[in-house]
Amino acid sequence: SPTVTIIGAGLAGCEAAHQVARRGFKVRLFEMRPAVSTDVHNGGRLADLVCSNSLRSDDPFHPVGLIKREMAGWDSLIIGAARAAAVPAGSALAVDREGFSQGVSQAIEGNANIELVREEVTAIPDGPVILAAGPLCSEALSRDLYRFVDDRALYFYDAIAPVIEYDSLDHDVVYLKSRYDKGEGADYLNIPLDKETYERFHQALVTGERVEAKNHEKLIFFEGCLPVEIMADRGVDTLRFGPMKPVGLEDPRTGKQPYAVIQLRQDNFAKSHWNMVGFQTQLKWGEQKRVFQMLPGLERARFVRYGMIHRNTYVDSSKHLLPTLQFRRRPDLFLAGQISGVEGYVESAAAGLMAGVNMARFLAGETPDPFPATTAMGALAHYVSFQGHAKLDPTNINFGLLPPLARKGRMKRREKRAAMVHRAVADMIAFAHARGLSEFAMPDYDA
């Protein structure tokens, strides 16, 4: 059978390569870095996490906890490598980004069915292809893709949060604690703010100088990843009810809850780098230094990396894809990852997983079939390919994407979520069993 070309060794591309290869097919996985770089990736690392080091909630009854477990059932490379490189983060799954990327690289480079080619692909090749070139798809390939779909480029902006050196923090001010003491121990560093400091900081955020968009286009942000100063623009208290929420974070030295809190999350195994949680920003670098150093405990902060904004390219999949992630016009061409209209590390990898599984079915002469719409993975694929969108807005996984429950009558929110999760688990197991995966199981649920 022909070799599958996979474009982009990011989260979606590595996952797709692993899924195709473990079904016995050969893969040529193209990655343009380090020769051709992007503004946000680090050197030549595979599956590079460009911003936060968190794969978000690990609660099995949270939609992103559910999707991780569905993926684990399908032997996900990305979820396996993330668990192996996990760092403490309360009830979230966060990783040492270098350890994570190394784990993925070893699996890819050690796989006899995968050939990693460090080259830019400048046009969509013939033959079986999975296009997973990400939101920063190179210019030449983007042009060819837009020619193929005969559509204007869609885009939105994403922002990155700063990372700070541990040694530069004032440890008399910051304190260790997880919200409501969830998780194994105290995993977050917290910066307590009183009312006056908070208000001064808010004022500095809304008046700080910001970076503008390229080519004077309109700055459209993804609602789930708004820059901190845009949230601040919405009102003086917006941040206190958002990323600076103090509930469950009493200062252990006083026993009191501060007026507002900024959390820092461990960013590497060595605990030398800490990420400002929810502080993605479009402030100019000099302004970030000035404004963030106003915070108590950060007066002498050294920044490993400043925050920044970046343009994300995606395709309006609702016009072009089937829920199997195949192009309607060309069934041997699949689209996966952020460029297909999903948003987030885990969601991108999930799209790669579905494209990989279905590509293998396509090559085996079987009919690729969509993952059930009642599962978290399937719901994403159905959402992006749904033909009723006026315009596709990229999305994270959430329970609103899953079809409503058949059971009528009033249910508490928790009950409803649990029922949706149990339905997803049962339907995913049935789907896998029907495809001959008799061993298929999902961790953490007794289905």
Chain contacts with ligand FAD (rule: CB under 6 A)? 7-13, 30-33, 38, 40-41, 50-52, 120-121, 132-138, 141, 158, 160, 310, 312, 337-339, 344-345, 348
Distance CA 81, CA 64 (A): 17
Q: How far is the CB of 141 from ligand FAD (least distance, A)?
A: 4
Nearest to 198 by CA among 294, 302, 298, 299: 294
Q: How far is the CB of 11 from ligand FAD (least distance, A)?
A: 4
Of the pair 147, 435, the CB lying nearest ligand FAD is at 147
Q: How far is the CB of 107 from ligand FAD (least distance, A)?
A: 15
Q: Which residues of 404-416 are buried (b: 16+ CB within 10 A; e: fewer)?
A: eeeeeeeeeeeee
Distance CA 103, CA 258 (A): 40
Of the pair 7, 230, the CB lying nearest ligand FAD is at 7
Of the pair 32, 92, the CB lying nearest ligand FAD is at 32
Q: How far is the CB of 344 from ligand FAD (least distance, A)?
A: 4
Of the pair 91, 257, the CB lying nearest ligand FAD is at 91
Of the pair 73, 341, the CB lying nearest ligand FAD is at 341
Q: Which residues of 356-371 are buried (b: 16+ CB within 10 A; e: fewer)?
A: bbbbbbbbeeeebebb
Of the pair 16, 442, the CB lying nearest ligand FAD is at 16
CA distances (Å), origin 39, targets 43, 218, 311: 10, 20, 10
Nearest to 160 by CA among 213, 225, 96: 225
C-alpha gyration radius of the chain: 22
Q: Indicate the residue whose CB is closest to ligand FAD.
A: 10
SS3 content of the chain, % helix, strand, coil (to 5): 35, 15, 50
Q: How far is the CB of 433 from ligand FAD (least distance, A)?
A: 29
3-state secondary structure 124-188: CCCCCEEECCCCCCCHHHHHHHHHHHCCCCEEEEEEECCEEEHHHCCCCCCEECCHHHCCCCCCE
**Residue corresponding to tokens 């072009």:** 320
Q: How far is the CB of 78 from ligand FAD (least distance, A)?
A: 9
Of the pair 72, 193, the CB lying nearest ligand FAD is at 72
Q: How far is the CB of 116 from ligand FAD (least distance, A)?
A: 11
Of the pair 77, 141, the CB lying nearest ligand FAD is at 141
Q: How far is the CB of 66 from ligand FAD (least distance, A)?
A: 16
* Three-class SS state of 404: coil
Beta bridge partners of 180: none
Nearest to 133 by CA among 218, 51, 226, 36: 36
Of the pair 13, 227, the CB lying nearest ligand FAD is at 13
Distance CA 341, CA 387 (A): 13
Q: How far is the CB of 115 from ligand FAD (least distance, A)?
A: 14
**Phi (first) and psi of residue 10, to 5 degrees:** -95, -150
